Structure 1
Amino acid sequence: MRLLSLVQNALLLCGFAVLSSGADAAAAVPQRNSHVPRGFVTTRGTHFELDGKPFAFVGANSYWLPLLTSPDDVESTLKSMQNAGIKVLRTWGFNAINGTELPGALQSNLTYYQTWNNSEWSLNANSQGLERLDKVISTAEKHGIKVILTFANNWFGSDLYIQWMLGAGQTHDVFFTNEQIIASYQSYVKTIVERYKNSPAIFAWELMNEARCLSDTLRAGPSCVPGSNTLRTWYEQQSNFIRSLDANHLITTGGEGHFFWKDPETYWSDHTLVSDYNYNGQAGEDFDHDLLLPNIDFGTYHIYPQTWYPELDFPGSNWTAEDWGLDWIQQHVHSANKANKPVVLEEFGVTGLQNKTVVYPKWVQRALDTHHGIMPWQFGQLGLTEDGGNRVIKYADALIDGASPNDGFAYYPNQTAVWEVFTRAAKIQNARSG
């Protein structure tokens, strides 16, 4: 594994030196196939297509689906999605653990794909590993659902690369710049891409969930600041690398949609005018320009205003999560139209059932009116059977009385008003499709 990474690293350094060599750089960038096999999703301008016909969709986020050990529960969940009109599933193509966690993982039957014991991870492709992901993808295909598969997580998962390969005292952004880490990430990506690259069940490859300069555990460093283009460079390198492996599937970032505006938004907090993190480039993204990269086929963005602006979200405030979200949607539509690429509202959520019933209809209608993909966070399933419907599936996540994990954002079939927001939207999107 180490030898593979070193050889791969050398090849990548050579390859990207060519990409940056001048007039011939554009010709060296790998291109998407203009005539993909049947069943593969493509783009035409700001719209998705499937076999030459429009493909509009409501999708579902379910990180927990590959963590289920029961094939019957996987089957019932994807059947529920199909019955709700869902056409796209987004799930994690990663789950890494420390070697010290392995005994507990084996005892609890936790799904895991990578184990870190030293400066390289080892792959778990067996029945407790990638075979479970195989099951999810094949079952999704059976139910007519395409899969967005994400390769890594900004929150904790990527820091395992840093901690094991570089040791303590690092900043989070070295994940995006260190050549050894990049080669290791790409080695894992290649494993997943080559496993599924011929499958029409895959909607798109996703570089990372919510890439930022910082993470939960590590701060940002001086190489990832507004205007540094650290994430943009990484997005470009990794999307070109994946395109060199697979000319047929779509590729996207998985980013939250942060902007880097010359005159960023501001707001008052504690009597101080604050530069808005979502607009000032501190997160590391530059949505307007990242979307122009040749092998980023569509844009993604997320909406969590209650979490992002807790100091503004209080009774009596003239700021509302609903209005902020509507503006955020419109800004990303504007950017996507300029880039002439599709955009997906890939994650969004508010907490509280009443908030959901008030806010979601407005956000979903705005997304419908502007013709882009809609993927709430997150799909809730009832009637799961593992361990009598009560099983810890990962750390603090658990099935409770047969219900899938609830982080406050999950929505379930028995929450009729909220459920019908998405089933209604799915009917509209499906009617728009070929």
Structure 2
Amino acid sequence: MEAEWRDKKLYPLLGILLLSILLYLNFGNTNLISFPISRQPRLDFVSANSTHFIIVNGGGAAENQSAAYVNGWNSYWLMQESVWGGPSRSRVSKMLQRGAQMGLTVCRTWAFSDGNGPNALQISPGVFNERVFRGLDYVIVEARKHGIRLVLSLVNNLNNFGGKAQYVRWAQEAGINVSSSSDSFFSHPMIKDYYKAYVKAILSRKNSLSGVKYSDEPAIFAWELMNEPRCESSSSAPILQAWITEMAAFVKSLDQKHLVTVGLEGFYGLNTTKGPEVNPGEWAASLGSDFVQNSAIENIDFASVHAYPDSWIPHADLEEKTRYLSQWVDSHISDGDQVLKKPILFTEVGSLVYVNNQSIADKDILLKTMYDKIYESAKKRQAGAGALIWQLLVEGVEEYGDRFSFIAWDKPSTYKLILRQSCRLQSIFPKSSQNRKLSKDPCSGQLP
């Protein structure tokens, strides 16, 4: 009887248990087994005080507050790569670990993927793929483990990963009489409700690994309303302004702990006097966005700016690109100090990567120009609050790369430039860096 019982009951039960564990570890898509994390490293929330980011270390007393200037990076692919578990998640962990080893403290990544693709987070309005959500859970837990804070972007202006065009298609498929123009994303009440429902689902999500709601998670640096919002026509500019106002207030109604930014490229609008002299071309003022007007909205805590001199003025030589980038940065920092009274974070800083040494040198010159401007701003306590390089990869995720992506440790000169920027910012504001508490200090022995 004992042998028969083992054959018929015990072994099948063990087999089911083993299969459940394997499914969890490889796909993260089973509710049979869960391994919650009981303890996580402590991180403090980041807030904004006029033109500075502020970290309150362990309490609200003024003496515990320290200004924070950011050196960070973009890896938009973290959630996508985390979906399948196993080796894929190890690459996500490696990217966050290597970022911390360069003294980087903030990573910007996508918290969206809309449509019917195999790795879509939002399959249809308000319907989510739990397996993909658990991938995002993992990204957040690993970021906190390595002392990294995340800027999470909530939708794409572009068609990649669905974007605003997918929201418009959903409305059309539901039989709603909506214009085929993607600008209707910003104006149609039903589409705005779709977006709000998505935002609510993200902010109210309880992390399956840590048990912490996203709205209570200090490893989240900020919510970004949209990646690079643009309109097809400049006549939609008031609609975009109204959309930002409405959505920023909605996010704040759900979450008072985190910062909110727009996700702008930083172009000046048609009615801005400095636009023609600072924008990279006349085309930049015709996209419906306006850096000053959009960023001045009450519930926007800091202004976001991008910088792509290689793309925006492609026929210019290196000297002209460097001069343009310098003016671009100065103009926005000045706006932060004198007009907006808010921090300015350059959330995408990209330059082309080629294989020949001269092009690597060009990239380093442009990056150094940006870094020097941020460093000078930090020394003077000005509004230029940091820069996030676009974008970093690790071995095995080259499929996510573009003309601006690279593996930092494969480019020694660029790697040293990134680390040096981290260390000299840390030398000014040592209390604002919590990496020292979490791992070996990457700046130990480094000259600022």
TM-score, normalized by length of structure 2?
A: 0.72
Q: Give the match for residue 277 of structure 1.
A: 283
Residues 320-358 of structure 1, C-alpha deviations (whole Å, 9 max, x = no match):
221111111111101111211111011011113232122
Residues 109-168 of structure 1, C-alpha deviations (whole Å, 9 max, x = no match):
xx321113xxx35211x22x1100000001000111111111000001110011221368
Residues 361-402 of structure 1, C-alpha deviations (whole Å, 9 max, x = no match):
1121112212321101001223xxxxxx4xxxxxxxxx34xx
Cα pair 1:264 1:275 within 8 Å, conserved: no
Query: Radius of gyration: which is bigger?
Result: 2
1:162 equivalent to 2:168? Answer yes
Secondary structure of 1:300's counterpart equals strand
The share of aligned pairs that are identical, in percent, is 29
Q: How many residue pairs were aligned?
A: 344
* CA distance 1:223–1:263, shift in 2 (3 Å): closer
* Structure 2 residue corresponding to 1:130, chosen from 128, 133, 137: 133
Q: Give the match for residue 95 of structure 1.
A: 113
Q: Give the match for residue 4 of structure 1.
A: none
1:198 equivalent to 2:235? Answer no
Q: Specify the code of the residue in structure 2 equivalent to 1:185.
A: Y
TM-score, normalized by length of structure 1?
A: 0.75
* Structure 2 residue corresponding to 1:46, chosen from 46, 51, 68: 51
Secondary structure of 1:293's counterpart equals coil
In structure 2, distance between residues paired with 1:304 and 1:359? 10
* CA distance 1:170–1:203, shift in 2 (3 Å): same
Cα pair 1:150 1:208 within 8 Å, conserved: yes
Higher helix share: 2
In structure 1, distance between residues paired with 2:282 and 2:370? 21
* CA distance 1:188–1:341, shift in 2 (3 Å): same
* CA distance 1:91–1:262, shift in 2 (3 Å): closer
In structure 1, distance between residues paired with 2:341 and 2:235? 30
Secondary structure of 1:277's counterpart equals helix
1:292 equivalent to 2:296? Answer yes
Q: Give the match for residue 407 of structure 1.
A: 402
In structure 1, distance between residues paired with 2:112 and 2:220? 15
In structure 2, distance between residues paired with 1:243 and 1:265? 30
* CA distance 1:178–1:358, shift in 2 (3 Å): same
In structure 2, distance between residues paired with 1:162 and 1:77? 34
1:350 equivalent to 2:351? Answer yes
In structure 2, distance between residues paired with 1:263 and 1:135? 46
* Structure 2 residue corresponding to 1:112, chosen from 120, 127, 132: 120
Alignment of 1:337-416 (within 5 A): 337-338=337-338, 339-352=340-353, 353-371=360-378, 372-382=385-395, 389=396, 399-400=397-398, 405-411=400-406, 412-416=408-412
Q: Give the match for residue 239 of structure 2.
A: 230
In structure 1, distance between residues paired with 2:393 and 2:416? 13
Q: Give the match for residue 432 of structure 1.
A: 428
Q: Specify the code of the residue in structure 1 equivalent to 2:192.
A: I
In structure 2, distance between residues paired with 1:86 and 1:262? 34
* CA distance 1:44–1:121, shift in 2 (3 Å): closer
Measured after TM superposition, the shift of residue 198 of structure 1 is 0.8
* Structure 2 residue corresponding to 1:301, chosen from 302, 305, 311: 305
* Structure 2, gaps ≥5 residues long: 1-41, 57-64, 206-213, 354-359, 379-384, 432-448
Of the structure 1 ranges 196-205 and 424-433, higher mean CA displacement relative to structure 2 is found in 424-433
In structure 2, distance between residues paired with 1:154 and 1:277? 17
* Structure 2 residue corresponding to 1:81, chosen from 56, 79, 99: 99
In structure 1, distance between residues paired with 2:218 and 2:335? 29
In structure 2, distance between residues paired with 1:140 and 1:178? 36
Q: Give the match for residue 211 of structure 1.
A: 229
Of the structure 1 ranges 323-332 and 287-296, higher mean CA displacement relative to structure 2 is found in 287-296
Measured after TM superposition, the shift of residue 169 of structure 1 is 5.5
What is the root-mean-square deviation of aligned Cα atoms in Å? 2.2
Q: Give the match for residue 199 of structure 2.
A: 189
Cα pair 1:78 1:140 within 8 Å, conserved: yes
Measured after TM superposition, the shift of residue 264 of structure 1 is 5.3
* CA distance 1:115–1:416, shift in 2 (3 Å): same
Measured after TM superposition, the shift of residue 67 of structure 1 is 1.4
The list of structure 1 runs, each at least 4 consecutive aligned residues, that deviate by more than 6 angstroms after superposition, is none
Residues 54-74 of structure 1, C-alpha deviations (whole Å, 9 max, x = no match):
222201100111111322222
